[in-house]
Amino acid sequence: MVFLNVAQALRVRQEVNCLTDFLEECEEQLRALKKLKKSERGLLYGVPISLKDVYDCMGHDSTCGLAQFLEKPAAKDGVIVKVLKAHGAIPFVKTNIPQTLFDCSNPIYGQTLNPLNLKKTPGGSSGGEGALLAKGGSILGMGTDTGGSVRIPPSFCGFCGLRTTGYRSAQAAISTHPQPLTRGWSQVAGPMAKDVESLALCLRVLLSEDMHRLDATVPPLPFREEVYSSNRPLRIGYYESDNFTQPSPSMLRAVRLTSKLLQDAGYQVGLLSRQEGGEAGPVRMLGWSILGKKGISTRLPVRSLVSLSGLRIRCCHELWCRSQTRLGSRVFIAKWRSLDLDVLLAPALDPAFYIGYPAKAGNSSSYMALFNILNFPAGVVPVTTVTPQDEEELAFYRGYYGDISDKNFQEAVRGSVGLPVAVQCIALPWEEELCLRFMKEVETLVKNQGGRK
């Protein structure tokens, strides 16, 4: 299996430039695995897995897209790589990343293209993983998510990804090179795959006792099978916009399509409004003041929330702003609890942007970055594709502010007929199994309706 994936991965690389390294030791690892007894084989026995460039693999560079880290190979495998190998997985390639933002280009390896439309970006920063998985060059990949990086590439390229709660898996697994833009804002590992069950399989491994043994900062919380496999009815809230960046027509339609599928399947589903205290279907509204133009009760706007990228505190005002993000998280959770919600459905950022536009329309990443700020587990599931009608409606897009960011967003997503559109599935912190269960329900309903429409 691993050799077939290497061949396909190299073919994909020629088309979209998604790889940074081939892990030649995978061949020796495969030979060693074949000698194991069945009782010694792990959950990922023989599964080839691709790794975002930032994961340390002994003897290989982890450049983070920066030339200063070339020819400085890691002295040992990172914790997550060790855990994956211990359970039989075979890391075989490393994949391209940007230095910043959610495009996928750097001065060392160049620009990675979206294989579904070569004029578009696969997203980032786990963009090499996105391009490779989209073309079948890998069946399971590991990315990282600081502001949406495990969710944007799957959303742009048409598969599934999961951002875990910060510190539920090893932080030390990721490159030890300094990354100042992520200090203070949790950078978390997350799996990416064609289907939800593959994500769940990977998470069973990541949450094994090996993880806590190798990194004592990771809480010993094993995967809860009873939550993932439960048939308990879910109470689902959803929203159609973050009231900061107007959603593209396809984003809006994807959420409405998914909410209707869930309602038709018998779930309790309610539309949540910004207006606190009103009624919206079977659940009370969440009170989206945290996402409104005027921000939460502290008047901290979303643009400020999203810009808190973890740079060191330089003044009392910045310290105050950070404390308000924690307050916002507590307010958000308290409101969620008061509504007796299990999970939340939200728009994902899509369709794929033209290359170069992430830097011009980066404010739209608020759809993803909010859940990094709140530190909630969040996954994406593809549910539809851009239609000609979506493209026609985009011509009338004006945005909420009518500023250059809104205009750039409109330009970034145009010309996307046929490209995938996803939704986000969110749960409260430490509830990855419930998040995956919700993702699985959405995935199943979409498949049962005869494919994405």
Please give the positions annotated as active site: 52, 125, 149
Are the CB atoms for 302 and 244 separated by under 8 Å?
Answer: yes
104 with 121: CB under 8 angstroms? yes
DSSP helix/strand/coil, 112: coil
**DSSP strands (E only) in 373-419:** 378-385
| Backbone φ/ψ region at 171: left (φ over 0), alpha (ψ -120 to 50), beta | alpha
Q: Which residues contact 387 (CB under 8 A, 6 or more apart)?
A: 250, 253, 417
Give dist(CA 146, CA 124) in Å, integer. Answer: 10
Kindly state the greatest CA–CA separation across the chain: 63
Strand blocks (E) in 132-256: 140-145, 160-163, 188-193, 235-238
Separation of alpha carbons 148 and 265, rounded Å: 29
- Give the contacts of 181 (CB within 8 A, at least 6 positions apart): 100, 146, 309, 310, 311
Can you list the alpha helix ranges (DSSP code H) found in 79-195?
79-86, 127-134, 152-157
Q: Where are the beta strands (DSSP E) in 37-155?
A: 48-52, 90-95, 105-106, 110-111, 140-145
Nearest to 55 by CA among 39, 73, 68, 30: 73
Specify the pairing of strand 110-111 against strand 105-106.
Answer: antiparallel
How far is Cα of residue 285 from the mean position of the Cα atoms in its chain? 26
In 3D space, the residue among 97, 15, 14, 105 whose CA is nearest the CA of residue 50 turns out to be 97
What phi, psi does 279 have (nearest 5°)?
A: -105, 145
Which H or E run includes 53?
none
Q: Which residue in 104, 44, 109, 38 sits closest to 80, CA to CA?
A: 44
**What's the Cα-to-Cα distance from 163 to each of 11, 30, 408, rounded to whole Å?**
28, 29, 27
Task: Round to whole Å and give the CA distance between 139 and 130.
Answer: 11
Q: Is the peptide bond before 178 cis (omega within 30 degrees of 0)?
A: no
